[in-house]
Structure 1
Amino acid sequence: MFKKILASIGVGAAKVDTVLQTEHLHPGQRFSAEIIITGGDVEQEISGLELSLMTKVKVEGENGDYFVNHVIDKWKIIDKCTVAPGEEKRIPFEARLHSETPITEIHTGLNQSSVWLATGLNIDMALDPTDKDPIYVYPNEAVRTFMQAMERIGFNLVKSDVERGYLTAPSFHSTSGCYQELEFRPISQSVFGIREVELSFVPELHKTHVLIELDRAFRQDGYVDLTIEHDQVNLSKICDQLERLLN
């Protein structure tokens, strides 16, 4: 009985660990993992096992901005099972990273974008042990080339964060409940009369949509959007498109 009481507060309870085949992924890429449940000191009933793709989103509050955890995607692994003392259960798992997963592997002075997998083990009459595994998310070719084009026409990436909400434009609509903003500033303040450009990407299977927010001197913010087909990614062409849009 004493061991059961200890297990109910997490001492000697069952543990969960997710082992990814690789932590380095692109949005929309398939990944494989093995979820390992290790029994504790007493037999315990598992009433659910879920895997969640998580990020931190910035929200506005009365006292300023703050960050909260946001679930991008979620998968139910099992509904119910029993774990004997010291028993080890290994569960293979495959899924696809959400296409709108924020990019974490970018070079900027202030990178506030993070992504991880959280494995939650629901144990009857006990605390909920959770395993957190960071994911390193890289831009697809279209996004990477677009960012290179911004640098080539005279802008530096200075900040990255993720905000709560949805993006809507005539040709696309985001679905994850959050969106990443990449903030660029001109190397020279005279570049196109623009003080700041914020980019948000909404990738799909064969194309990536881009929402561009322009902060011009002495003018209100404006929005433009375009779509890059993945089989037509060309740095010079994107540079030309950007120069026309920004002019």
Structure 2
Amino acid sequence: MVFKRLLGAIGVGGPTVDTVLDPAPVRPGGTLGGRVHLEGGKADFEIEHITLELVARVEAEREDGESEGVVAFDRFTVGGGFRLAEGERRSLPFGVSLPWETPVTELHGQSLGVVLGVRTELSVAGAKDKGDLDPLSVTPLPVQEAVLEAFGGLGFGFRSADLELGHIGGTDQRLPFYQEIELVPPPRYAQQVHEIEVTFLAGPGGMEVVLEADERGGFRAPGHDALTRFTVSHDGVERQDWPAVVDGWLRHLVEHRAPYGVPAGDGAPPAHGHEAHHHEERRPGPGMGTVVAAGAAGLAVGVVGGMVASEVVDEVGDFFEGEEEEEEEEG
């Protein structure tokens, strides 16, 4: 989905911008490549800069309920400082590094309903215009995929994924939001927890895995959330027994009936546990209503509430089209 828009800030006859992303999959911390195509208008123009802005649809908890909005989480200048002649066509290649905490939007080619985009800003003679907006697809890192596959092998089903505004206390989180992947427990854990929420906070040296369990209360104890985090390495992913590691995490999480996390240490040398603290902005969100049915054979998109994978893709497309229409109205 590519949008071409006239540079409205300088009126009819201005240059147009069209950004095309490389089709190759990109991972958190990886290089996002593509080309910015420019076409000159009815006169010569000085192109001051061309900037790419990474944006995400994020949910926020407020006193009057939940709301959604677009949050920019990185910017890159990929060109500028040249004259674009009347009617001239020019194509500029670029390669930029995604933040390590960039959310995952798909698993095994199936959309999770998480919406990321790349917005192109063109600055001409002091006037700026947010040109086209293109959807961004991000696949998981090997260690992220290994952890999710381990959950699937243990019988967990993936309910939804969303982005929450706020910061998880006690972590090295850098972006202004975090991703929550909600999992449905198998019968083995269903008597203890309603759901498990997984958050990945990746960095160049490794990754924090934050687990939150919405626990079921007993006859005398109300249900409450338990939260803990673990640190894993990017190296040696293929040599780890991830189902055993994740099972150890889960047993620590659900057996310790306390509102805060507990340290790990149950036979998982490469995955170090830490005590984690709740923070005032972390709350579970309803997500997109997508279910990813997980099993030992892998992950596939399933159905919940009548919503299937194609409808999730349509909703993502509608979001970008709505953003485009709002910008045109503002222009």
Confirm or deny a common fold (TM above 0.5).
Answer: yes
Q: 1:30–1:127: structure 2 CA closer, same or farther, 3 Å change rule?
A: closer
Count matched residues.
Answer: 239
Q: Which residue of 1 aligns with 2:45?
A: 44
- 2:251 is aligned to 244
Partner of 1:13: 14
Query: In 1, are the aligned partners of 2:159 and 2:182 still within 8 Å (CA)?
Result: yes
Structure 1 residue 110 displacement after superposition: 9.2
Cα deviation, residue 116, structure 1: 1.6
Instruction: Decide whether aligned partners of structure 1 residues 10 and 159 sit closer, same or farther in structure 2, where only a CA change above 3 A counts.
Output: farther
* Distance (Å, rounded) in 2 between the aligned partners of 1:223 and 1:215: 9
Equivalence for 2:166: 165
Q: Any idea what the Cα deviations from partners look like across 1:101-150, whole Å, max 9, x if unmatched? A: 1110038x994411121111123476715122222111111111111222
Q: Could you tell me whether the CA contact under 8 Å between 1:103 and 1:139 is conserved in 2? A: yes
Distance 1:190 1:240 in 2: 11
Per the normalisation by structure 2, the TM-score is: 0.65
| Counterpart for residue 283 of structure 2 | none
Distance 1:7 1:195, change over 3 A: closer
Gapped regions of structure 1 (runs ≥ 5): 1-5
Deviates more, 1:126-135 or 1:92-101: 126-135
Greater mean alpha carbon deviation, residues 15-24 or residues 96-105: 15-24
1:86 is paired with a residue of what secondary structure? coil
State the SS of the aligned residue for 2:150: helix
Change (3 A) 1:144 1:110: closer
Q: Provide the aligned C-alpha RMSD in A.
A: 2.6
* Structure 1 residues 167 and 23: alpha-carbon distance in aligned structure 2, compared to 1, 3 A threshold: farther
What is the letter of the counterpart of residue 239 of structure 1? Answer: V
Runs (5+) with no aligned partner, structure 2 = 1-6, 218-222, 256-331
2:191, 2:147 → 1: CA distance?
A: 18
In the alignment, is the contact (CA less than 8 A) between 1:7 and 1:126 conserved in 2? no
CA contact (8 A) 1:33 1:93 kept: yes
Give 2:136's aligned residue: 135
1:202 alignment partner in structure 2:
201
The separation in 2 between residues aligned to 1:71 and 1:133, in whole angstroms, is 14
Task: Report what 1:117 is aligned to.
Answer: 118
The CA deviation string for residues 139-172 of structure 1, in whole angstroms up to 9 with x for no partner, is 1111111112222223211010011122333xx4
- 1:20 deviation in Å? 2.5
Residue 220 to residue 110, structure 1, CA distance change in 2 (3 Å): farther
Residue 176 of structure 1 is matched in structure 2 by 175
AA aligned to 2:231 is T
In 2, distance between residues paired with 1:226 and 1:239?
10
The aligned residue for residue 227 of structure 1 is 231
Q: Which residue does 2:305 correspond to in 1?
A: none
| C-alpha displacement of 1:66 | 2.1
2:51, 2:120 within 8 Å by CA — same for their partners in 1?
yes
The answer to which structure has the higher strand fraction is 1
**Matches of 1:104 and 1:110 in 2, distance apart?**
6
- Structure 1 pair 89–155 and aligned structure 2 pair: CA distance change class (3 A): same
Amino acid in the other structure paired with 1:229: S
**8 A Cα contact 2:28 2:141, kept in partner:** yes
Deviation at 1:23, TM superposition (A): 5.0
- Provide the secondary structure at the position in 2 that maps to 1:230: coil
Report sequence identity in percent.
Answer: 28
Flag as ranges the 4+ runs of structure 1 deviating above 6 A.
Answer: none
Aligned partner of 1:244: which letter?
R
The farther-off stretch of 221-230 and 46-55 is 46-55
| Residues 23, 167 of structure 1: alpha-carbon distance in 2 compared, 3 angstrom cutoff | farther
Distance in 2 (alpha carbons) for counterparts of 1:122 and 1:31: 22
Secondary structure of the residue that 1:34 maps to in structure 2? Answer: strand
Inter-CA distance 156–74: structure 2 relative to 1 (3 Å threshold):
same
The answer to whether the Cα contact below 8 Å between 2:162 and 2:181 also exists between their aligned partners in 1 is yes
The CA deviation string for residues 14-72 of structure 1, in whole angstroms up to 9 with x for no partner, is 11122333352111112322222211112233343211111111112454322211112
SS at match of 1:139: coil
Deviation larger for 193-202 or 132-141: 132-141
Moved more, 237-246 or 115-124: 237-246
